[in-house]
């Protein structure tokens, strides 16, 4: 039951207070609470006038300047406006803080979930959740659209890195720990942040080629799409489409109900049992219906079987995909069990359509009351009514990016790399190493090591936010060695050892879907150039998913998958140089070839090809000395 970890002193009073407030609300005010708008499409005056329930910053929805102080001023401005509405119902401001408060320049950026899954340490995830909540709350935000409890089936999916792995038990255990971290001691504490467990259901199980998010015949109109326009110029969008963007994300799930229940539902139960009060619905489809219109899954299973007492929020403009008629989209989604609707751009239209549907009797008033009661109850549990829109109770802005949090991120980045291959005990590199050649732009690039959902929706290469890099870590730990750096590896000198860093370009959501995970020709050429100039070659991958390595695996003595380690990339140097040992394990099956995809554990044993590396694989090493605790 979702109430299992709710304070018994506040659980019943929260419901009673919600019922009392609900009795005083007009229909329009109730619909306002069910409405969630994006900050660039709404003003504080709109929030005040329409009693809106929530405002969000989409990926890259940042204030100018992008500083913690500007964030707090922006969020508090919306919150104070809500407090000035007729009933003063507080606003829930939401962000995608999926690996730290990752929209804010200077915040601590933790490894993406795929790396945390490789560590498999629930206490580490809990501590990361707590640090994230403190930084998020310091800017006035009390709702985080995380954790993703996705179980990726086809790792060509662009959101693979948001999931902890392909083991439902592991995903549920770590998701529960993250929920507990966001909560802290109690939900009504000023540094507690509401988690949004997403995306319900089986968002990572869509079939390659089934996505209908983007009509390739209409690709020239990308600039007219207010969402996809954020992904970059139209010409670049065309190139990414050719590589496979929007082929999986928001697609069709073809597993049967038994598999849904065995493989994809358990993490939701674990998160709900940990006290989660919000679930976000998936864009995907199952049994011919969008998840946003699946009454059986949303109402009968989630709210009925699971006893979920919180509220369900839609994804970004997701109800628009239900039907060509916007009115039908509103009616079906609310009837199915969506309680709050994320309508980033057309929030006024949504309110008008829902009001008309209630007045016509198409949507029962009882369904509206149930939705609003759930939303209000969550707000009472969070103590929002006791804050009156003021930020005085919240953590100080100085906690954003504070040293303790960066040390925690350093620990996570140090522990999450998986040692895939280690011929001749190449790693750790010897302490007496005289020369080291480092190649690949990712070795000294904070943006590449952080990946997507970092400052902007897609992320970007370069110094997007403060952090440390692998190259800096190597030079700090081997200050007595000659550590040369060649981004393109086109020098001529030799070295005893070489490290080649191959980094995926940053991406998010369906923009990261791909037809192939094979290394690019220029990546393989870089490996070949450095192989010819060193005695020992170490290949380091910065990636949100497994890559098909081909000849690079043969050329490398050691292969390290460091995933997307976040802002504290210097920590990756520690297991490589023996300041710590490798400990992480694969939680995803690693394909040997593109033809082997999708490669997952949800089928009859022996029914598919063997992976190059299987779940549980990961070599261990012994450090030369005790781990360096300095960040």
Query: Which two structure tokens, joined as six digits, stand for 53?
Result: 């329930």
Q: How far is Cα 540 from Cα 420, in angstroms, rounded to an integer?
A: 10
Buried b / exposed e along 290-311 (16+ C-beta atoms within 10 A): bbbbbeebbbebbbeebebbbb
Query: Which two structure tokens, joined as six digits, stand for 306?
Result: 């699971």
Phi, then psi, of 559 in degrees rounded to 5 = -130, 125
- Is 509 one of the catalytic residues? yes
Query: Which position has the token pair 């597993």?
Result: 255
Chain CA centroid to CA 362, Å: 36
Nearest by Cα to 414 from 574, 266, 614: 574
Phi, then psi, of 484 in degrees rounded to 5 = -95, 145
Q: How far is Cα 552 from Cα 420, in angstroms, rounded to an integer?
A: 13
Q: Alpha-carbon torsion 139, 461, 471, 615, what sign?
A: positive
Chain CA centroid to CA 73, Å: 25
59 Cβ contact partners less than 8 Å away, ≥ 6 residues apart: 96, 103, 230, 453, 456, 457, 458, 508
Is residue 329 a contact partner of residue 297, using CB atoms and an 8 Å limit?
no
Q: How far is Cα 151 from Cα 205, in angstroms, rounded to an integer?
A: 7
Q: Which of 29, 315, 339, 574 is catalytic?
A: 315
Cβ contacts of 67-73, under 8 Å, gap ≥ 24: 67/104, 67/105, 67/106, 68/104, 68/106, 68/107, 68/138, 68/139, 68/397, 68/400, 69/397, 71/104, 71/139, 71/140, 71/141, 72/138, 72/139, 72/140, 72/391, 72/397
Q: How far is Cα 112 from Cα 544, in angstroms, rounded to an integer?
A: 8
Cβ contacts of 346-350, under 8 Å, gap ≥ 24: 346/317, 347/35, 347/36, 347/37, 347/41, 347/42, 347/52, 350/35
- Is 346 one of the catalytic residues? no
Tell me whether the omega of the peptide bond preceding residue 147 falls within 30 degrees of 0, making it cis.
yes
Q: Which of 509, 523, 568, 583 is catalytic?
A: 509
Helix and strand totals (H; E) in the chain: 20, 18
Where does residue 107 fall: left (phi above 0), alpha (psi -120 to 50 degrees), or beta otherwise? beta
Q: How far is Cα 322 from Cα 486, in angstroms, rounded to an integer?
A: 51
Residues with a known catalytic role: 315, 509
């Amino acid at each position: 039951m979702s109430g299992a970890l709710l304070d018994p002193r506040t659980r019943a009073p929260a419901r009673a207070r919600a019922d009392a407030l609900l009795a005083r609300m007009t229909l329009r005010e109730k619909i306002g609470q069910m409405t969630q708008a994006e900050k660039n499409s709404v003003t504080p005056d709109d929030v005040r006038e329409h009693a809106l329930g929530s405002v969000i910053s989409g990926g890259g929805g940042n204030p100018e300047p992008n500083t913690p102080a500007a964030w707090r001023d922006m969020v508090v401005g919306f919150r104070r406006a809500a407090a000035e509405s007729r009933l003063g119902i507080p606003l829930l401001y939401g962000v995608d803080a999926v690996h730290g408060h990752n929209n804010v320049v200077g915040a601590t950026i933790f490894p993406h979930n795929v790396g945390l899954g490789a560590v498999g340490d629930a206490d580490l995830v809990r501590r990361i959740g707590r640090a994230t909540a403190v930084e998020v709350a310091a800017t006035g935000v009390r709702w985080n659209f995380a954790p993703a409890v996705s179980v990726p089936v086809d790792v060509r999916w662009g959101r693979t890195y948001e999931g902890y792995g392909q083991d439902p038990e592991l995903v549920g255990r770590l998701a529960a720990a993250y929920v507990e971290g966001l909560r802290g001691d109690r939900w009504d504490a000023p540094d507690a942040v509401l988690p949004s467990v997403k995306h319900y259901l089986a968002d990572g199980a869509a079939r390659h080629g089934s996505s209908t998010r983007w009509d390739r015949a209409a690709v020239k109109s990308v600039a007219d799409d207010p969402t996809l326009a954020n992904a970059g110029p139209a010409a670049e969008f065309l190139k990414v489409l050719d590589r496979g963007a929007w082929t999986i994300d928001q697609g069709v799930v073809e597993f049967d109900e038994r598999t849904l229940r065995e493989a994809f539902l358990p993490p939701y139960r674990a998160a709900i049992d940990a006290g989660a009060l919000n679930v976000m619905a998936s864009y995907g489809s199952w049994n011919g219906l969008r998840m946003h219109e699946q009454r059986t899954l949303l109402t009968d299973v989630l709210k009925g079987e699971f006893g979920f007492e919180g509220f369900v929020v839609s994804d970004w403009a997701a109800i628009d995909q239900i039907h060509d008629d916007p009115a039908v989209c509103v009616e079906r989604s609310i009837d199915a069990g969506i309680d709050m609707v994320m309508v980033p751009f057309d929030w006024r239209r949504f309110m008008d359509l829902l009001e008309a549907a209630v007045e016509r009797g198409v949507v029962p008033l009882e369904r509206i009351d149930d939705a609003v009661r759930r939303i209000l109850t969550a707000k009472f549990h969070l103590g929002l009514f006791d804050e009156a829109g003021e930020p005085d109770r919240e953590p100080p802005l100085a906690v954003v990016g504070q040293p303790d949090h960066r040390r925690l991120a350093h620990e996570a980045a140090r522990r999450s790399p998986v040692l895939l291959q280690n011929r001749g005990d190449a790693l750790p590199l010897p302490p007496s190493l005289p020369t080291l050649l480092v190649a690949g732009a990712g070795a000294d690039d904070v943006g590449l090591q952080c990946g997507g959902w970092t400052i902007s929706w897609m992320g970007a290469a370069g110094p997007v936010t403060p952090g440390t890099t692998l190259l800096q870590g190597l030079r700090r730990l081997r200050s007595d060695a000659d550590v040369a750096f060649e981004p393109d590896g086109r020098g001529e000198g030799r070295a005893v050892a070489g490290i080649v860093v191959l980094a995926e370009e940053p991406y998010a959501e369906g923009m990261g879907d791909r037809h192939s995970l094979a290394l690019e020709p220029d990546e393989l050429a870089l490996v070949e150039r450095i192989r010819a100039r060193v005695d020992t070659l170490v290949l380091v991958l910065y990636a949100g998913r497994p890559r098909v390595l081909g000849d690079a695996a043969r050329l490398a003595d050691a292969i390290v998958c460091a995933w997307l380690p976040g802002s504290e990339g210097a920590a990756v140097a520690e297991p490589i140089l023996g300041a710590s040992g490798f400990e992480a394990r694969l939680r995803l099956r690693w394909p040997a070839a593109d033809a082997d995809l999708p490669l997952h554990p949800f089928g009859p044993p022996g029914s598919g090809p063997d992976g190059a590396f299987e779940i549980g694989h990961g070599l261990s090493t012994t450090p030369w000395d005790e781990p360096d605790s300095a960040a």
